[in-house]
C-alpha cells in the first residue's frame, strides 16, 4: 500500500485528505496543531463574538470519518527527498507521495518594531491574546487618571485595508459602541477610536469600485476613522508613527497588511519566489519531483500573467486538484494543468452589512451579509460548530450582545 503524507491540515490539506481517503492509500496527516482552524472567523474570537472552540475542529475526529487516514501530531523539521521521508521532531515519516500545504504567516516587511509590538491573527492563541488585550485596555482605562493616556488605551489602529482589516474594524467598532459602552458606564466609550490604515488609495482593492466606495462610506458612518495613502513606519507600546511624521497615541496596533509563506517553505530547499512562496509546475508539483505537491499559500503559480492570490479558495481548489492528480497517476492517467476558478470574493462590514462580488455581479448591504453568513456556516467543519456559531450570530443580531467578553489571562507588566 502506497503512503501519501499531507503536511498541514488547513483548507488545502483537508481537501486532499478527503479525496484520498478510502482510495487504497495509507494517508498520514501531519500538523503541529491537533485541529483544523477556520481562520476567516478568527477576528470574531478576537472581538468577543465567538468562542475559540467554535472555529476549530479536531483532526483526529475528521480522520475517524476518512477511511485509511491517520494523524501524526508533529513539527516538520525537514524533508529528505532522496530517501522520500518527512523529518519531524518525533521521527521520520516515509512517503510515496507528499503534499505540503503549511499556509502562511503575517508579513511585517522587515519592520522589526512593528513586528515586536503589533498583534496579528494567524493562530487560535492570537485571537485569545488580542481579545484579552482589548478588554484589559478598557479595564485599565477605568482607573487611568490621565485623560490622554485613557484615550490612548481606547484607541485601536488597524493596518491593512483588505478583507481582514475591514472585517476586524467593523466588528471592533460595534463591540465598542454597542457592548462595551454598556459594560463601562464610567468611561466615555464614545470617545474610543478605531482607525483603519491603508497604504494605497482604496479599501478591498480586488473588488469593483462601487463596492469599495460602499465599504468606505459604511465604515465611516459606523465611526471608523479610515486613513488612505498612509503608511505605518514605527510603533511602540504607546504610539503608532506614520511616514509623514504624524503619530497616533495608541496602545493597540493590529497588523493585517500582508502575508508570506510559512517558514516551512524554506525547508524545501528550493528557490523561493516573492513572499517566500515556492514555484510549482502547472500540475502543482516541484520541478523534478513529480511525487511532491505544494499547495495553498505556499505555492507560487502564475495564471493569466499574475500570481494566484494567497486566499482560502485557491488553497481549497489546489487541495482537491492534488488529491485527484495523485489518484490519476496511480490509474495511469493525467489531469490537465491546474486552473483556478475565481468564484468571487466577499467581506462583512458589520451587522447586516457586507459586500460581495461574484460572476461579474456585485452585492452590498443586507443581501450580501446573508450570503456571507450562509457560506461561512457551510464551510465550517463540524455540526456543533455550525450550531454554536449560528446561535451566537442570532443572539448578537437580536440583542447586540457578545457573550465571550472574557479575560482569560492577565497581561504582565501592565502592557
Which residues are annotated as catalytic?
167
Core vs surface per residue 363-389: b (16+ CB within 10 A) or e: bbeeebbebbbeebeeebbbeebbebb
Alpha carbons 195 and 200: distance in angstroms, whole number: 15
Alpha carbons 43 and 262: distance in angstroms, whole number: 20
Count of alpha carbons within 13 Å of 133, Cβ hemisphere only? Answer: 22
Exposed (0-12), middle (13-18) or buried (19+): which is 223, by Cβ within 10 Å?
Answer: middle
DSSP conformation letters of 35-97: EEE-GGGHHHHHTTSS-GGGGEEEHHHHHHHSTTEEEEE--EEEEETTTTEEEETTEEEE-SE
Q: Which among 412, 350, 133 is positioned nearest to 254, based on CA atoms? A: 133
Alpha carbons 46 and 57: distance in angstroms, whole number: 18
**Left if phi > 0, otherwise alpha if psi is -120 to 50, otherwise beta: which for 413?**
left
User: Within 10 A of 106 (CB to CB), how many other CB atoms are there?
Assistant: 19
Q: Rg of the chain's alpha carbons, rounded to an integer?
A: 22
DSSP conformation letters of 383-410: HHHHHHHHHHHHHHHHH---S-----SP
C-alpha cell at position 197? 490604515
Alpha carbons 42 and 119: distance in angstroms, whole number: 13
Q: Residue 254 in contact with residue 248, Cβ under 8 Å?
A: no
Amino acid at each position: 500500500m502506497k503512503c501519501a503524507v499531507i503536511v498541514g491540515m488547513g483548507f488545502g490539506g483537508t481537501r486532499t485528505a478527503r479525496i484520498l481517503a478510502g482510495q487504497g492509500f495509507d494517508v498520514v496527516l501531519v500538523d503541529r496543531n491537533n485541529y483544523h482552524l477556520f481562520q476567516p472567523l478568527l477576528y470574531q474570537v478576537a472581538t468577543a463574538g465567538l468562542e475559540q472552540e467554535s472555529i476549530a475542529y479536531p483532526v483526529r475526529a475528521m480522520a475517524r470519518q476518512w477511511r485509511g487516514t491517520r494523524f501524526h501530531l508533529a513539527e516538520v523539521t525537514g524533508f529528505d527527498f532522496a530517501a522520500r521521508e518527512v523529518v519531524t521532531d518525533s521521527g521520520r515519516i516515509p512517503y510515496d507521495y507528499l503534499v505540503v500545504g503549511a499556509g502562511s504567516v503575517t508579513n511585517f516587511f522587515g519592520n522589526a518594531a512593528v513586528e515586536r509590538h503589533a498583534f496579528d491573527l494567524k493562530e487560535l492563541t492570537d485571537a485569545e491574546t488580542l481579545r484579552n488585550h482589548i478588554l484589559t485596555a478598557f479595564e485599565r482605562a477605568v482607573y487611568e487618571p490621565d485623560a490622554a493616556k485613557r484615550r490612548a488605551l481606547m484607541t485601536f489602529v488597524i493596518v491593512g485595508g483588505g478583507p481582514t482589516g475591514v472585517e476586524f474594524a467593523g466588528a471592533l467598532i460595534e463591540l465598542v459602541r454597542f457592548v462595551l459602552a454598556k459594560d463601562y458606564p464610567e468611561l466615555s466609550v464614545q470617545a474610543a477610536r478605531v482607525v483603519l490604515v491603508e497604504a494605497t488609495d482604496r479599501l478591498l482593492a480586488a473588488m469593483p469600485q462601487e463596492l469599495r466606495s460602499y465599504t468606505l462610506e459604511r465604515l465611516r458612518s459606523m465611526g471608523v476613522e479610515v486613513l488612505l495613502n498612509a503608511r505605518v513606519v514605527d510603533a511602540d507600546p504607546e504610539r503608532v508613527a506614520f511616514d509623514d511624521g504624524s503619530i497616533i497615541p495608541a496602545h493597540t496596533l493590529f497588523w493585517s497588511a500582508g502575508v508570506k509563506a510559512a517558514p516551512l517553505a524554506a525547508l524545501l530547499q528550493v528557490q523561493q519566489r516573492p513572499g517566500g512562496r515556492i514555484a510549482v509546475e502547472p500540475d502543482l508539483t516541484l520541478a523534478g519531483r513529480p511525487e511532491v505537491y505544494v499547495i495553498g499559500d505556499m505555492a507560487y503559480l502564475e495564471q493569466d500573467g499574475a500570481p494566484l492570490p494567497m486566499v482560502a479558495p485557491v488553497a481549497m481548489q489546489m487541495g482537491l486538484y492534488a488529491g485527484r492528480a495523485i489518484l490519476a497517476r496511480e490509474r495511469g492517467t493525467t489531469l490537465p494543468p491546474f486552473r483556478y476558478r475565481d468564484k468571487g470574493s466577499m467581506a462583512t462590514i458589520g451587522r447586516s452589512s457586507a459586500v460581495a462580488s461574484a460572476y461579474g455581479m456585485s452585492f452590498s448591504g443586507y443581501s450580501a451579509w446573508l450570503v456571507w453568513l450562509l457560506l461561512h456556516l457551510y464551510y465550517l467543519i463540524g455540526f456543533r460548530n455550525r450550531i454554536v456559531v449560528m446561535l451566537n450570530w442570532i443572539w448578537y443580531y437580536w440583542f447586540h450582545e457578545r457573550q465571550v467578553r472574557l479575560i482569560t489571562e492577565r497581561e504582565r507588566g501592565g502592557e
